[in-house]
Chains A and B, each alone.
Chain A
Amino acid sequence: MLLLLLSLKHPWPWYVSGPLIGLMVPALLLLGNKPFGISSSLRHICAACLPARIPFFQYDWKKEAWNLFLVSGIFLGAVIAVHWLSDPLPVAVDPRLVSELSGYGIHPTHALVPGELFNWPALLSLREFLLMGVGGFLVGFGTRYADGCTSGHAIMGLSNLQWPSLVATCCFMTGGFVMANWILPFILSL
């Protein structure tokens, strides 16, 4: 029992967590014919809070309220995981990445997002504003323009053998590669 609890507290390996994430797809279909997808929650929030007579937000978002319950659950699940299942050890990070990022003053701790970059006062500096403010904007704009995110296209779409989702997933990865390897070093050095 103690051993089980200990192994629950460690980070779960990909071959455990990946298949469990994949089971979200049939679970949501069986529970109520819902397609697995997260980014549409952002659209429902716009439709609910600030539709501003924009046709894209004129629909009955209450019919999609299940999606808002799903993302509220994600928030709560994370609260549960860090309070009762958290690992006291620092995040294990590839040594090449550690040495690259230590050059920008960023070091691995037990936190999953580096506190040097992601903290409230840092929002006022250019580097962190770009990462959170502009980065967040690109996530919201891009996912909606692409009509889906990692869950909706990469997992749900590819699971259902949809080729447009393959195009989208390849573009997600290409954008990420370009940003992480060629643009991000410039932003981090600001």
Chain B
Amino acid sequence: MGSIRYSKYLIMGILFGILLVKSEVISWWRIQEMFRLQSFHMYGIIGSAIFVGMISIQLLKKFNVKTFGGEPIRIAPKSFQKGQIYGGLIFGFGWAMTGACPGPLYAQIGSGATVVISTLLSAIAGTWVYGRVRGKLPH
């Protein structure tokens, strides 16, 4: 039963993975261009993705659209904490070094760069260490 319930997310992931490769979002080169303001490509992608996402959410809310399972759509609000500043900067450093945010990490491995498994394991370690020292960090 579980596998059928989850297969739709696997399929969404496959579509997203194909998109990440074909749009070259997983390219280390594109990320370097973005942070050097040498190309509009990544800004176009992120900007138009936000635009479409924003219009979609507004429409879902305006027409009170239900999920396919018939539930009302609920989106948890994001609450502010200082981690969005400190953590955001730290992630930005890592993004420019690895050329990958978390989604592209999985896609880079799939694209054949198997060594990125080590980047992914480091990212899992980073998440684990955050969980471990969380209480001592400013939030």
Contact = CB atoms under 8 A, between A and B. Distances in A.
Contacts of A140: 94, 102, 122-128, 130
A102 interface: no
Interface in B97-113: 97-103, 105-113
Contacts of A101: 32
B45 A56 contact: no
B107 A173 contact: no
B74 interface: yes
The secondary-structure label for the interface of chain A is helix
Nearest to A36: B53
Contacts of B21: 77-78, 81-82, 85, 112
A22 B74 contact: no
A138 to B, nearest CB: 3
B27 to A, nearest CB: 4
B42 to A, nearest CB: 8
Interface string A146-173: 1111110111111111111101111111
A143 B130 CA distance: 10
A114 interface: yes
A18 B84 contact: no
Interface residues of A, number: 126
A116 to B, nearest CB: 11
Which interface class (under 10, 10 to 19, 20 to 34, 35 or more) fits B?
A: 35 or more
B92 A176 contact: yes
Contacts, number: 498
A187 to B, nearest CB: 7
B16 A141 contact: no
A30 B65 contact: yes
B98 A139 contact: yes
Contacts of A122: 115
B64 interface: no
Interface in B31-47: 31-36, 38-42, 44-47
A119 B87 contact: no
The 7 closest A-B pairs by CB, nearest first: A73-B13, A175-B92, A77-B17, A145-B87, A171-B88, A140-B126, A22-B52
Interface of B: 2, 6-29, 31-36, 38-42, 44-54, 56-57, 59-60, 65, 67-69, 71, 73-81, 83-103, 105-116, 118-132, 134, 137
Given A138-B94, A165-B78, 14 more contacts: A14-B41, A25-B53, A29-B60, A73-B13, A78-B106, A112-B113, A114-B28, A118-B113, A119-B115, A135-B93, A141-B130, A145-B137, A176-B92, A178-B92
